[in-house]
């Protein structure tokens, strides 16, 4: 960092303003946490009095400068906004009053998002060698430095950063809306083909479309500890839309897995998430032959007259997804019973129609994915813009 402006210690414009507060026995509390990398404080939770064991807290006010002692090296700095006024923090979150005659609040907030301050905090933090134990105590916090130009220059820098940040936010919002539109397009396509195929063939229950010897079943109830030479097992989080994330699958002890022969995979089944979420569908990859699934996943071994990709798209159609959600049971752990899964219906035209339907949906899906990849690439470029702008801002190059 060059010397476009003198570097000034925080002690020259920040003054501690601790507000200890003892909560009443029946007093609930809105507690605040800190985001990393300069993104500031946020409302973490509303905690009922009965769950608060330590009654001594500290009240924060709008405009306070605040940081987290334990994660200063991760950039846990920020300015308290009006929405958090009057909320509470623990003693791990010191607060300070800013001398606004010397430093513009927005200038300081943008500096909190620059790696220079994170690196200063890392060097000054003390504690265990493990980074998670590093602590920046208040005396050291006030020794941190910031390049501090004249107030009029601070305001000019802030205006430029705000302008660029607004443009970036607009681009990101457009990308997010476009991505949502792409996803909606895929579901709409599935719904349209479900209607078309229903007009050509009578819907049949899944229970009539599967291998009668295996039926529709869920897998291992208690997967136990990861076993180094165990059986790869698909759990709820591994099952994504039209894809199984095979890296990092849990390996279940063969002695446990052997009790679930009905769901041992052959590499041709359709997999449906039925617990801990609902609806994600994917084909079992050939590489998972002889693997298994957990109780959160239903294995649907279709008869040869049903193309599994065709069934996957029919079940992914929003109309069928709504039917599944209509059968969700439970409170803390939502899911759908296998009985209800077996009753879901899909139309079954001849194999030529099924394959043509799959081909057309896949082609449209691939186009949507291509657009999505371009959006992700563009988002990556835009995401690197703000750090570059901040680097320029705090070296005098903006």
Residues 136, 57 within the same domain: yes
> Quick check: 266 and 305 in contact, CB under 8 A?
no
Domain closes at, from 132, 148, 164: 148
Q: In which band, very low, low, confident or very high, does the pLDDT at 278 lie, cut at 50, 70 and 90?
A: confident
Q: Is residue 52 part of a domain?
A: yes
Residues 219, 135 within the same domain: no
pLDDT digit string, tens, across residues 110-151: 999 999 999 999 999 988 655 557 899 999 999 999 999 999
Residue 365 pLDDT exceeds 80: no
Q: Is residue 167 part of a domain?
A: no
Q: In which band, very low, low, confident or very high, does the pLDDT at 291 lie, cut at 50, 70 and 90?
A: very high
Residues 138, 246 within the same domain: no
> Quick check: 377 and 242 in contact, CB under 8 A?
no
Residues 304, 220 within the same domain: yes
pLDDT digit string, tens, across residues 23-43: 999 999 999 999 999 999 999
pLDDT digit string, tens, across residues 181-213: 556 677 888 888 899 999 999 999 999 999 999
Q: Is residue 73 part of a domain?
A: yes
Q: Hunting for tokens 């790696």 — which residue is that? A: 115
Q: Is residue 275 part of a domain?
A: yes
Domain closes at, from 306, 328, 348: 348
Q: Under 8 Å CB-to-CB from 88, ≥6 apart: which residues?
A: 21, 23, 29, 30, 31, 32, 57, 58, 59, 60
Rounded mean pLDDT, 316-340: 82
Residues 223, 327 within the same domain: yes
Q: Is residue 169 part of a domain?
A: no
Rounded mean pLDDT, 285-309: 96
Domain of 308? 202-348
Residues 26, 89 within the same domain: yes
- Counting residues of the chain whose pLDDT is more than 90, the rounded percentage is 69
Domain closes at, from 348, 364, 386: 348
**Order of strands, sheet of 95-98, starting from the edge strand that comes earlier in the sequence:** 14-16, 95-98, 65-67, 77-79
Q: Is residue 161 part of a domain?
A: no
Residue 153 pLDDT exceeds 50: yes
Task: Name the token pair of 298.
Answer: 């239903």
Residues 136, 261 within the same domain: no
Q: Which pLDDT value is given to residue 376? A: 60
> Quick check: 79 and 109 in contact, CB under 8 A?
yes
Residues 206, 338 within the same domain: yes
Q: pTM score, two decimals?
A: 0.55
What CATH number should be reported for the domain holding residue 13? 3.90.220.20
Residues 144, 212 within the same domain: no
Residues 143, 206 within the same domain: no
As a whole number, the mean pLDDT across the chain is 89
Q: Is residue 306 part of a domain?
A: yes
Q: Which pLDDT value is given to residue 1? A: 46
Better-scored residue on pLDDT, 391 or 353: 353
pLDDT digit string, tens, across residues 41-92: 999 999 999 888 888 999 999 999 999 999 999 999 999 999 999 999 999 9
Residues 206, 342 within the same domain: yes
Q: Is residue 223 part of a domain?
A: yes
Q: How many domains does the chain have?
A: 2
pLDDT digit string, tens, across residues 229-260: 999 999 999 998 899 999 989 999 999 999 99
Q: In which band, very low, low, confident or very high, does the pLDDT at 177 lie, cut at 50, 70 and 90?
A: low
Residue 93 pLDDT exceeds 70: yes
Residues 83, 19 within the same domain: yes
């Amino acid at each position: 960092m060059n010397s476009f402006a003198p570097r000034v210690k925080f002690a020259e414009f920040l003054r501690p303003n601790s507000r200890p507060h003892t909560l009443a026995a029946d007093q609930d509390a809105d507690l605040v946490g800190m985001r990393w990398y300069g993104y500031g404080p946020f409302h973490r939770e509303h905690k009922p009095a009965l769950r608060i064991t330590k009654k001594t807290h500290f009240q924060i006010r709008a405009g306070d400068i605040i940081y987290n002692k334990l994660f200063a090296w991760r950039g846990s700095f920020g300015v308290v906004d009006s929405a958090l006024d009057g909320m509470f923090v623990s003693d791990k979150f010191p607060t300070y009053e800013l001398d606004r005659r010397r430093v513009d609040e927005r200038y300081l907030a943008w500096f909190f998002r620059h790696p220079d301050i994170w690196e200063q905090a890392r060097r000054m933090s003390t504690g265990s060698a493990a980074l998670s134990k590093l602590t920046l105590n208040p005396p050291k916090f006030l020794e941190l430095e910031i390049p501090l130009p004249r107030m009029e220059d601070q305001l000019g820098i802030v205006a430029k950063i705000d302008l660029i940040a607004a443009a970036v936010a607009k681009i990101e919002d457009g990308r997010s809306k476009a991505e949502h539109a792409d996803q909606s397009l895929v579901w709409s396509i599935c719904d349209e083909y479900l209607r078309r195929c229903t007009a050509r063939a009578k819907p049949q229950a899944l229970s009539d479309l599967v291998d009668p010897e295996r039926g529709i079943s869920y897998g291992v109830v208690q997967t136990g500890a990861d076993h180094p030479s165990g059986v790869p097992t698909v759990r709820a989080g591994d099952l994504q839309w039209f894809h199984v994330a095979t890296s990092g699958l849990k390996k279940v002890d063969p002695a446990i897995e052997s009790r679930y022969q009905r769901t041992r995979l052959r590499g041709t089944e359709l997999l449906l998430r039925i617990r801990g979420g609902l609806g994600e569908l994917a084909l079992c990859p050939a590489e998972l032959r002889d693997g298994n699934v957990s109780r959160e996943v239903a294995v649907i071994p279709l008869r040869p007259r049903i193309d599994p990709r065709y069934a996957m798209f029919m079940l992914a159609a929003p109309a069928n997804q709504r039917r599944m959600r209509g059968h969700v049971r439970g409170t803390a752990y939502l899911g759908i019973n296998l009985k209800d899964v077996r009753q879901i219906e899909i139309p079954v035209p001849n194999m030529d129609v099924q394959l043509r339907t799959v081909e057309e949906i896949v082609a449209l899906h691939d186009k949507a994915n291509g657009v999505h990849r371009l959006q992700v690439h563009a988002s990556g470029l835009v995401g690197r813009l703000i750090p570059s702008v901040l680097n320029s801002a705090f070296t005098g190059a903006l």
